Amino acid sequence: METKNQKLREWVAEVEAMCQPDRVEWVDGSTAEYDRLMQLMVDCGMATKLNEQKRPNSFAFRSDPSDVARVENNTYIACKNQEDAGPTNNWIDPVELKKTMTELYTGCMKGRTMYVIPFSMGPIGSPISKIGIEITDSPYVVVNMHIMTRAGDKVIEALGEDGEFIPCLHSIGAPLAEGQEDVPWPCAPIEEKYIAHFPEENLIWSYGSGYGGNALLGKKCLALRIASNMAREEGWMAEHMLILRLTNPEGHRFHIAAAFPSACGKTNLAMLQATVPGWKVECIGDDIAWMKIGDDGRLHAINPESGFFGVAPGTSDKSNPMAMRSLDENSIFTNCALTDDGDIWWEGMDVPCDHAIDWKNNEWTPESDNVAAHANARFTAPAAQCPVICEDWEDPAGVPIDVFVFGGRRTQTVPLVTQALDFDHGVFMGAMAASETTAAALDVGQKLRRDPFAMLPFCGYNMADYWTHWFAMGDKLGDKAPAVFYVNWFRTSKEGRWLWPGFGENSRVLKWMCERVEGKVGAKETPIGHMPQDGDLDLSGLDIAPEDVTELLTVDAGAFKEDLADGEAYLAKFGDKVPERLRAQLEAQKTRLG
């Protein structure tokens, strides 16, 4: 659709002149367009159509083996003063970075089509939503954006003549010379990959990678890094949080927003099948929450996305049946294995597989030394296909949040659940969050990494200013602020056995939280916060040894002090930017631990 937005026309013309594509296509968001692009990718060997009987209208892709995850070392916050990016972000001077990237972008789309994707993060017209325009030379990005965002003509209409948009430029960085044969997954080598954010002008430039988090710019780049900075300036919140609705047997609804680092089971929690009788979980989002204070003084959340870009390995009918149903059809699979009957397979799918073609396009059997699917293999599925998506998940007003949950993957030290003593203590808990690392980022070496609010790779400005923003939001919300909890589903015994069954049984912990909010259930006060005492957590019908429950709910003061020392050393990186209120929380926790 022709846009009357002069600023947009000028930007597209500028990018076209720089990138020199063979042609330009404006993405309309139609099914016909999606089908045509998929066919184009099947025809050139980039995509494989799955067996229509088994998984209708679904396609598998294999990336280049070097382009399988987010690249945090190549992800930049480019602002004038390094201090505004803070010690946890890679900073580059914006002028210098633009020079380097302009050289790379010059002629980078030769031999390719340049797609212009108008997209909305959040339901079109919601007061919390934002419009972005992604320019890309990757048809894979276009089809994924069709699922993950509201894309196409309807956004051009909403933008009108002078609407604001966030420009997002993406190139795989692989121009084609005259007559040069293409490869199935073109991309640039690692030293030429740049995932760049210019928060002072709300601009995103991404070069060299075709992989999800680096290339689907609405997600991590816009909805987290750029949006977190806009949120601070405009007084709202953009968080790495799932959103779920829990309904109790009396029909009372609670809304929970929960932040966990990548690959800690956010998607599983967002869609869990509650095992506590009479309680029901429904999903609103599995990765990102945008929240604004409404007229009622409460915090209202929307899911800015419209699809799930989830980690495939480990997803099964047992771990997450609702995710499995979400990807029964109309889905995209990246770096999964292909079975002999034309379907996909991955480790932890809980169905046998005797033979497959692995994610690197090699023969695979269970005897093979390598895995069949990459550990960070992904599915892209429309959120509307989730059987437990809330019927009003696209309500432009969002849902009022009752509870915030933080957590991480910790085999030791951290108990099953703790409630913050008050909102400030909750901010401290979020700031101290840490997790044992996984495969969602390529280049994260160490075992335990502090990941404040699960935002370490996603906060678009100085993390210390982000903590200040959290305190400020707490002040604005006052007694309407959500209650804050910290959980750890991943504790193991000394022999390495999981102490907590997890999955649907996590509903027992969620139930305790909601009943705490209602003032219906007890707790004991410990040095690290409120915790359930005997009988507070509903364990009826659960086969769990009482000693395991005791261990899950014990505070080992010695281990916590060590953890706190590690946390304090981490805070030291931020120097005197650390908010006084956070230091006060740290000191108070120290005193309580004795």
* Catalytic residue list: 264
| SS3 per residue for 126-159 | CCCCEEEEEEECCHHHHHHHHHHCEECHHHHHHH
> 213 or 426, CB closer to ligand OXD?
213
Tell whether the torsion through CA atoms of 439, 441, 442 and 443 is positive or negative.
Answer: negative
Site for ligand OXD contains 305 (CB under 6 A):
no
- Alpha-carbon distance of 14 to 133, in angstroms, equals 14
Q: Minimal distance in Å, beta carbon 474 to Mn ion?
A: 24
> 287 or 358, CB closer to Mn ion?
287
Residue that is written with structure tokens 């069949």 in the block: 372
Size of the site for Mn ion (CB under 5 A): 1
Answer for which of 287, 394, 505, 538 binds ligand OXD (CB under 6 A) is 287
CA geometry: angle 310, 312, 317, nearest 5 deg: 105
Site for ligand OXD contains 77 (CB under 6 A):
no
Q: What ranges make up the beta strands (E) of 240-339?
A: 241-247, 253-259, 280-285, 289-293, 299-302, 307-311, 332-334, 337-339
Q: Minimal distance in Å, beta carbon 338 to Mn ion?
A: 26
| SS3 per residue for 38-67 | HHHHHHCCCEEECCCCCCCCCEEECCCCCC
> 116 or 311, CB closer to Mn ion?
311
Name the residue with the smallest CB distance to ligand OXD.
262
Site for ligand OXD contains 262 (CB under 6 A):
yes
From the list Mn ion, ligand OXD, none, partner contacted by residue 213 (C-beta under 5 to 8 A by kind)? ligand OXD
Q: Which two tokens stand for residue 290?
A: 């945008």
Site for Mn ion contains 287 (CB under 5 A):
yes
- Alpha-carbon distance of 387 to 586, in angstroms, equals 43
Q: Closest Cα to residue 221, out of 192, 187, 196?
A: 196
Site for Mn ion contains 33 (CB under 5 A):
no
- Alpha-carbon distance of 153 to 133, in angstroms, equals 12
Q: Minimal distance in Å, beta carbon 254 to ligand OXD?
A: 24
- Alpha-carbon distance of 177 to 139, in angstroms, equals 19
DSSP state letters, 456-513: TTT-SS-HHHHHHHHHHHHHHHGGGSPEEEEE-S--B-TTS-BSS--GGGHHHHHHHH
The strand pair at 403-407 and 483-487 is best described as parallel
Size of the site for ligand OXD (CB under 6 A): 6
What count of other Cβ atoms lies within 10 Å of the Cβ of residue 319?
19
Q: Minimal distance in Å, beta carbon 335 to ligand OXD?
A: 13
Site for ligand OXD contains 213 (CB under 6 A):
yes
From the list Mn ion, ligand OXD, none, partner contacted by residue 551 (C-beta under 5 to 8 A by kind)? none
> 202 or 262, CB closer to ligand OXD?
262
Q: Minimal distance in Å, beta carbon 383 to ligand OXD?
A: 14
> 169 or 263, CB closer to Mn ion?
263
Site for Mn ion contains 286 (CB under 5 A):
no
Site for ligand OXD contains 440 (CB under 6 A):
yes
By CB under 5 A, which span of 79-87, 141-149, 249-257, 286-294 interacts with Mn ion?
Answer: 286-294
Site for ligand OXD contains 67 (CB under 6 A):
no
Q: Which two tokens stand for residue 402?
A: 């009752």
Q: Minimal distance in Å, beta carbon 302 to ligand OXD?
A: 17
Q: Minimal distance in Å, beta carbon 32 to Mn ion?
A: 31
> 139 or 213, CB closer to ligand OXD?
213
Contact 229, 87 (CB under 8 A): no
> 287 or 538, CB closer to Mn ion?
287
Q: Contact residues for ligand OXD (CB under 6 A)?
A: 70, 213, 262, 287, 309, 440
Q: Contact residues for Mn ion (CB under 5 A)?
A: 287
